[in-house]
Amino acid sequence: MNILLKSAVVIDPKSVFHQKTNDILITNGVITRIAPNLSTEKVDTVIENVYVSSGWADSSVCFGEPGYEERETLTNGMQTAAKSGFTHVLINPATNPITDTKSAVLYLKNETKNELTTAHPIGALTQGSKGEVLAELFDMKNGGAVAFGDYKKAISNNNLLKIALQYTQVFDGIVISFPNDSKIMGKGVVNEHISATKLGLKGIPALAEELCVARDLAVLEYAGGKLHIPTISSKKSVVMIREAKSKGLDVTCSVAIHNIHFDDSVLTSFDTNFKVLPPLRDMETVVALREALNDGTIDFITSDHFPLDIECKFKEFDHASYGTIGLETIFGILNQYVPLEKAVELLTAARQRFGIETQPIAENQQADITIFRTDETYLFENKHILSSSHNSAFLGETLQGKVIGCIANGIAVINEVN
């Protein structure tokens, strides 16, 4: 199949075509020509006036399968990722059974091997994600796991974190440590703020996150190794991570797209789609997180995509499950807060951190690209949801920019053709 991208602007600092406008011909998944004014003869699909970047990677997604197929199957989840512009996704061990063995990692790899989007399993750090005994980390690494962490569960045992950081150095592994002290969190369900008091909801103080971040960085400084702190939501977390980087510690962090878009004022509706972990913080914190995105302290953005069936959300706020989907909306939201090149950087930076091979956009290279436009705005509605579950916090929000499609692994998914 021949696809011609006419008047395409390349956004790829590693490419000689960066910020230049050219036509790009892709034949059977390979970039065969990049030049001005290529002929449209013998071309199956022509797409005009687009931007092209290296394929995006999301560092934190959940799909239900295995165990929770009613929420999202791997097939539908991977197709949703592809239509949302992601050629690579890191899949959390939020499954049943937990992804804590090499065979579980291989299951995810094998079930998705024919998809456009490549799955990169995150292995559980501890057996059953119970926080007691390290899982089979080296075996999972050999099976294709790119990092190790217990999804939405903090490492409560300080020594276990130390041993994990020391052990993973042997095979260049990455430890993921979710920062949330469950004892400090208690029965909290939203940000500890005046809005929580007005709503009569128990609050989660930022301290629950900050204590874990401080501990994690102290252990990292002692033990060495590679640490990733996912979905931070606190100003003090930003400051501590910035200082740790200035010391040369090997640490990265991410923020969830909903935590830079919403503040806790939206909770007045008691809409359980806004119940997320970490919780939505106050506007002052949201502004600080946006600044940290732009100054490079926060390394990449994530959808923290977590499909949930209606039974998990259609109940009292206190009892509803945490989580929102976000793959479909991440670009249209991020595009409103950072310049285009920064948006692409935040959407692709996880590739380098987690060892995903990346080649510059060039002739005779296998295509691994995302195609998008930036100028169109539209209201996000139920009809735009691609996931099996509809628990989106972004319903009714205005998005700016659209993913036109992506091409990878010799497969093309095009959402819109001129």
φ/ψ of residue 381, rounded to 5:
-125, 175
Phi/psi region, residue 154 (left: phi>0; alpha: psi -120 to 50; beta: rest), is beta
What does the alpha-carbon distance between residue 245 and residue 281 come to, in Å, rounded to a whole number?
24
What does the alpha-carbon distance between residue 90 and residue 99 come to, in Å, rounded to a whole number?
12
φ/ψ of residue 300, rounded to 5:
-155, 160
Whole-number pLDDT of residue 417: 60
Give the tokens for residue 120: 């990169």
Whole-number pLDDT of residue 415: 93
| CATH, range 55-354 | 3.20.20.140
CATH of region 2-52+362-376+398-414, choose from 3.40.50.450, 2.30.40.10, 2.102.10.10, 2.60.40.420: 2.30.40.10
Which residue is associated with the tokens 């979905």?
Answer: 231
Which residue is associated with the tokens 């919403």?
Answer: 262
Catalytic residue among 216, 282, 304, 368: 304
Whole-number pLDDT of residue 418: 52
Are the folds of 2-52+362-376+398-414 and 55-354 the same?
Answer: no
pTM for this entry: 0.97
H helices present in 253-339, as ranges: 257-261, 283-295, 310-313, 330-334
pLDDT values of the chain reduced to their tens digit, one per residue, 418 residues: 899 999 999 999 999 999 999 999 999 999 999 999 999 999 999 999 999 999 999 999 999 999 999 999 999 999 999 999 999 999 999 999 999 999 999 999 999 999 999 999 999 999 999 999 999 999 999 999 999 999 999 999 999 999 999 999 999 999 999 999 999 999 999 999 999 999 999 999 999 999 999 999 999 999 999 999 999 999 999 999 999 999 999 999 999 999 999 999 999 999 999 999 999 999 999 999 999 999 999 999 999 999 999 999 999 999 999 999 999 999 999 999 999 999 999 999 999 999 999 999 999 999 999 999 999 999 999 999 999 999 999 999 999 999 999 999 999 999 976 5
Domain ranges of the chain: 2-52+362-376+398-414, 55-354
What does the alpha-carbon distance between residue 158 and residue 338 come to, in Å, rounded to a whole number?
36
Give the tokens for residue 179: 């920062």
Reply yes or no on whether 299 is catalytic.
no
What does the alpha-carbon distance between residue 154 and residue 182 come to, in Å, rounded to a whole number?
8
Which residue in 252, 249, 204, 207 sits closest to 231, CA to CA? 252
What does the alpha-carbon distance between residue 401 and residue 347 come to, in Å, rounded to a whole number?
14
What does the alpha-carbon distance between residue 412 and residue 1 come to, in Å, rounded to a whole number?
9
Contacts of 200 (CB under 8 A, 6+ apart): none
Whole-number pLDDT of residue 416: 73
Give exposure, 126-156, as e/b (b: 16+ Cβ within 10 Å): bbebebeebbbbbebbebbbbbbbbbbbbbe
Task: Provide the CA 49 distance to its chain's centre, in angstroms.
Answer: 27
What does the alpha-carbon distance between residue 76 and residue 82 come to, in Å, rounded to a whole number?
10
What does the alpha-carbon distance between residue 91 and residue 64 come to, in Å, rounded to a whole number?
10
Measured CA to CA in angstroms, residue 102 lies from 61, 140, 146 at distances of 19, 4, 12
DSSP β-ladder status, 365-366 and 30-35: antiparallel
Paired strand residues for 324: 305
Task: Find out whether the peptide bond into 279 is cis, omega within 30 degrees of 0.
Answer: no
